């Protein structure tokens, strides 16, 4: 074998390597360039980050796929934050660079013209930052590689639902970006029964003074939950002013959309400091090794190219831009021949012929391939649904320190949760317990109530109905000299007590609601006044009904509900009274006899025990007991005497109670209603009455009462007059009214009338508030505290007249049971004492008898032995 010279071998290797380098240096005719237009705002942070990410994506992609026959070539244009510049940039890219796809522009409102242009020339328009929901529906050639704005509205609504905030303020910039999300937000809040109390649309060119003026308007509103939908450029100016005006303090709630939250960490420290405590949502991008590696490389490269930026932060838009390039590169390779090919339109002048352009032949093919792209990118799984990227989940972030802290997640399947690794069977949740700890504005850890006392010191206007007759419920007294007004009554007292139990102070004033002539308004008119928000609440004898609940919110009812009849009572006949004496309270007599026998038996036992073993006989002892009880003879024992006195006391008490109870029973049996069924009133065509202005008029009509047979009254005295006359004499046979009014009426006329029913169920009285009022929940809880148990206010305002107080005494009262319990204990204790004494006495007697027997036996023995001994001695 021939040996090779090392010099020749080295020379050969140098020639081979040189040929390889020359081959690499020569242009590869087989590689087809794909011109890609990029229109972004290059001076913004999103524009800078996204552009650098796209160039890195091209480098990374073709480093892995170096055998691909197509190569993306980026042609960038700066739209300079202006829609006209964005439009001219797109036209310039089409004419000069012959681009076959356009990425951008950056803002949603800049995208309108370019999308229309792409639709006409069949050119795909791809955006990773235009999030207005309505853009996609305008052209099939528009592709969105980011979730659109409407996907986040349910996540935001779930936050308010979790904390039970029923009233919000919506703040947005008055641009296409700000306005087009509003319908979606309104729908989302309506779905959870949350009211948008006020909508603030601020012009994009508003000065600081204009923003402050709008903030002052918000400060005098009671609602403190504010939803903000703004772009980063406008939102930063807004929050700086909000902090200066003291609206980032304790008690406020700020929730921002992802347009501002996406770029949070790229904002200046002074702006982030002004947003402390803000909540926001952001599409969730899961961390991965590829993402961490890319972020590290990107930061290093970005700092090299921009040395004046110390700590650059990646934004989600940059990751979506990176994945967009990968999707486009894969699609271009699958299309293959991507040479720019346009032909002229043969149409009238209303087409792109005006621009001298044709229709792209490769555009539809490229569009198809992009829509079919599926791969795992830096932002997660990349696959388009209906031409846009769907979000898998939303992060809920809390602005703390230098950025956003994750406090929860939201998904359409599971709702709010602390993590994403959830079992599939977990139910949807909108609970505040599923959040991690949140720091609210002002550094507070206490969940805000969702409303505040207006800072201008404005008092809540509490409407009070002007009415007369039932002053126990609502009474308005005016001083004729000072014209000062004093409001009182049961309803007013309940409201004042409920307000006093709240943990915060509410300034309010009572305002009488009346007509211009000073007359009382109908109850439906009162409800309308609150519905129109002329008053912040309504306090009075307002009944909760289903129809009224359609227009206002009611607090928890503080009186019993129900419509009853008031009818005259009829007296029993004389024969009925005679039989009553024989039939009522037989139990009391039976109990008295039984107790008498039991007491006598106890005394007999005590006396018998004293004479056990003595000469007393049972017959003589019985006579002694009888003499003791009847003639007052002294017993032989202190305990016997005690039992005699107790027995006499109880028997006398029982007989007194019997007499009183029988008298009361005779009185109660007289209260028999003349009518028990309102259908009899309809059948006999009787006149019936109802309180003027109440809802009962409509109720009686639904019961098929003839309207001509209905009469009204306003005061208890008028009601009494109608009932006393009767239906045949110009009065009424019965009156229909609610429990509180009936209680007041019967407190004065209980001996003449009685209550029958109920004839209709209602929920009682409730305080009235506008729909969505934040006061409803707290006042309802306060009412429960005030009215539960024995309410002293009921006794104060509904105290019956002295002539109407009925003796409701009965033998079986708790006090009597306690007394009987004590007596039984005394009897048992007496028996135990007597038994113990008797036992000791018997023992002593037995011992004495034993000693006597022993002594007797000894004496007998001595006597027996004495003669014998004498004989022996003799």
Digit-coded pLDDT (tens) for 694-730: 888 888 888 889 888 999 988 888 999 999 888 888 8
Is the pLDDT at 145 greater than 60? The verdict is yes
Q: Are 402 and 419 in contact (CB under 8 A)?
A: no
Residues in the chain: 874
Q: At a CB cut-off of 8 Å and minimum separation 6, what does 63 contact?
A: none
Tokens of 560: 């019993």
pLDDT digits (tens, 9 = 90+) for 18-70: 544 444 444 445 788 999 999 999 988 899 999 999 999 999 999 999 999 99
Query: H or E stretch including 538?
Result: strand 537-538
Confidence of residue 479 (pLDDT cuts 50, 70, 90): confident
Q: Count CA within 13 A, CB hemisphere, residue 92.
A: 13
pTM, entire model: 0.61
Lowest mean pLDDT among 133-147, 467-481, 786-800: 786-800
Is the pLDDT at 733 greater than 70? The verdict is yes
pLDDT digits (tens, 9 = 90+) for 600-612: 766 666 665 555 4
Confidence of residue 621 (pLDDT cuts 50, 70, 90): very low
Q: Are 253 and 451 in contact (CB under 8 A)?
A: no
In Å, how far are 123, 166, 221, 222, 867 from 225, measured between CA atoms? 44, 9, 10, 9, 126
Average pLDDT over residues 796-807: 53
Mean pLDDT, all residues of the chain: 79
Is the pLDDT at 528 greater than 60? The verdict is yes
**Residue 60 confidence (pLDDT):** 95
**Residue 652 confidence (pLDDT):** 67
Confidence of residue 409 (pLDDT cuts 50, 70, 90): very high
Q: How far apart are CA 30 and CA 34, in angstroms?
A: 13
In Å, how far are 111, 466, 547, 566, 580 from 695, measured between CA atoms? 58, 17, 10, 17, 43
Tokens of 411: 């998904």
Q: How far apart are CA 607 and CA 625, in angstroms?
A: 8
Angle at 639 between CA 633 and CA 642, to 5 degrees: 65
pLDDT digits (tens, 9 = 90+) for 178-222: 888 999 999 999 999 888 888 999 998 899 999 999 998 888 787
Tokens of 281: 């949502």
Please name the residue that has the structure tokens 């949740």: 429
Q: How far apart are CA 743 and CA 738, in angstroms?
A: 9
Bridge partners of residue 408, in order along the sequence: 396
**Residue 373 confidence (pLDDT):** 92
Q: Is 263 helix (H, G, I), strand (E, B) or coil?
A: coil
Q: What proportion of the chain, given as a percentage, has pLDDT over 90?
A: 29
Average pLDDT over residues 251-258: 93
- CA 298 to chain CA mean position, Å: 46
């Amino acid at each position: 074998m021939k040996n090779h010279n090392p010099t020749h071998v080295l020379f050969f290797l140098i020639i081979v390597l040189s040929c390889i380098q020359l081959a690499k240096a020569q242009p590869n005719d087989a590689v087809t360039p794909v011109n890609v237009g990029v229109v972004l705002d290059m001076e913004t942070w999103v524009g800078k980050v996204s552009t650098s990410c796209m160039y890195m994506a091209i480098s990374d992609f073709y480093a892995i796929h170096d055998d691909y026959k197509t190569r993306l070539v980026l042609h960038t244009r700066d739209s300079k934050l202006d829609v006209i510049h964005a439009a001219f940039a797109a036209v310039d890219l089409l004419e000069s660079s012959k681009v076959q796809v356009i990425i951008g522009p950056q803002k949603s409102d800049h995208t309108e013209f370019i999308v229309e242009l792409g639709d006409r020339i069949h050119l795909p328009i791809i955006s990773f930052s235009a999030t207005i929901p309505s853009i996609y529906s305008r052209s099939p050639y528009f592709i969105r590689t980011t979730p659109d704005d409407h996907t986040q509205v349910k996540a935001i609504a779930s936050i308010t639902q979790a904390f039970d905030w029923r009233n919000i303020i919506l703040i947005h910039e008055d641009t296409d970006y700000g306005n087009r999300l509003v319908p979606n937000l309104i729908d989302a809040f309506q779905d959870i029964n949350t009211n948008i109390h006020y909508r603030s649309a601020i012009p994009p060119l508003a000065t600081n003074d204009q923003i402050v003026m709008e903030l002052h308007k918000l400060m005098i509103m009671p609602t403190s939950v504010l939803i903000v939908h703004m772009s980063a450029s406008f939102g930063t100016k807004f929050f700086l002013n909000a902090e200066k005006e003291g609206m980032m303090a304790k008690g406020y709630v700020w929730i921002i959309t992802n347009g501002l939250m996406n770029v949070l960490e790229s904002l200046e420290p002074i702006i982030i400091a002004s947003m402390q405590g803000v909540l926001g949502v952001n599409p969730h991008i899961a961390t991965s090794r590829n993402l961490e590696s890319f972020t590290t490389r990107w930061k290093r490269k970005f700092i090299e190219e921009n040395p004046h930026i110390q700590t650059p932060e990646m934004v989600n838009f940059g990751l979506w831009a990176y994945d967009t390039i990968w999707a486009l590169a894969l699609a271009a390779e699958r299309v293959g021949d991507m040479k720019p090919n346009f032909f002229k339109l043969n149409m009238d002048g209303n087409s792109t012929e005006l621009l001298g352009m044709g229709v792209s032949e490769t555009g539809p093919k490229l569009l198809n391939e992009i829509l079919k792209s599926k791969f795992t990118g830096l932002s997660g799984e990349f696959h388009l649904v209906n031409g846009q990227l769907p979000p898998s989940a939303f992060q809920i972030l809390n602005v703390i320190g230098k950025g956003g802290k994750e406090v929860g997640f939201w998904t359409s399947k599971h709702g709010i949760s602390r993590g994403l690794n959830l079992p599939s069977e977990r139910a949807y949740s909108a609970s505040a317990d599923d959040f991690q700890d949140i720091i609210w504005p002002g550094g507070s850890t206490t969940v805000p109530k969702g409303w505040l006392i207006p800072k201008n010191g404005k008092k809540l206007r509490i409407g009070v109905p002007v009415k007369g007759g039932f002053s126990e419920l609502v009474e308005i007294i005016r001083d004729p000299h000072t014209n000062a007004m004093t409001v009182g009554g049961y309803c007013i007292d309940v409201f004042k007590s409920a307000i006093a139990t709240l943990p915060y102070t509410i300034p309010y004033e009572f305002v009488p609601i009346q007509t211009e002539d000073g007359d009382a308004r109908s109850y439906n008119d009162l409800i309308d006044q609150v519905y129109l928000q002329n008053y912040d609440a309504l306090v009075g004898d307002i009944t909760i009904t289903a129809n009224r609940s359609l227009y206002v919110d009611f607090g928890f009812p503080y009186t019993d509900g129900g419509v009853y009849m008031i009818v005259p009572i009829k007296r029993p006949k004389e024969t009925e009274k005679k039989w009553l004496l024989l039939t009522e309270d037989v139990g009391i007599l039976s109990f008295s006899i039984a107790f008498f026998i039991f007491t006598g038996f106890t005394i007999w036992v005590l006396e018998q025990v004293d004479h056990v073993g003595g000469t007393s006989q049972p017959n003589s002892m019985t006579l002694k007991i009888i003499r003791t009880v009847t003639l007052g003879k002294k017993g032989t024992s202190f305990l016997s005497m005690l039992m005699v006195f107790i027995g006499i006391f109880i028997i006398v008490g029982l007989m007194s109670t019997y007499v009183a109870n029988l008298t009361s029973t005779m009185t109660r049996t007289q209260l028999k209603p003349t009518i028990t069924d309102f259908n009899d009133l309809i059948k006999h065509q009787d006149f019936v009455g109802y309180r003027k202005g109440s809802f009962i008029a409509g109720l009686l009509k639904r019961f098929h009462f003839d309207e001509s047979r209905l009469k009204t009254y306003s005061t208890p005295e008028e009601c009494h007059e109608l009932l006393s006359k009767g239906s045949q004499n110009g009065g009424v046979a019965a009156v229909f009214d609610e429990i509180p009014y009936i209680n007041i009426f019967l407190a004065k006329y209980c001996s003449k009338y009685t209550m029958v029913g109920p004839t209709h169920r209602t929920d009682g009285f409730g305080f009235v508030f506008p729909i969505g009022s934040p006061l409803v929940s707290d006042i309802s809880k306060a009412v429960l505290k005030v009215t539960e148990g024995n309410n002293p206010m009921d006794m104060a305002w509904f105290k019956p007249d002295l002539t109407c107080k009925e003796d409701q005494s009965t033998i079986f009262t708790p006090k009597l049971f306690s007394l009987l319990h004590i007596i039984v204990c005394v009897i048992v204790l007496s028996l135990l004492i007597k038994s113990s004494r008797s036992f000791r006495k018997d023992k002593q007697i037995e011992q004495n008898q034993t000693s006597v027997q022993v002594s007797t036996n000894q004496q007998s023995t001595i006597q027996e032995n004495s003669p014998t001994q004498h004989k022996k001695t003799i």
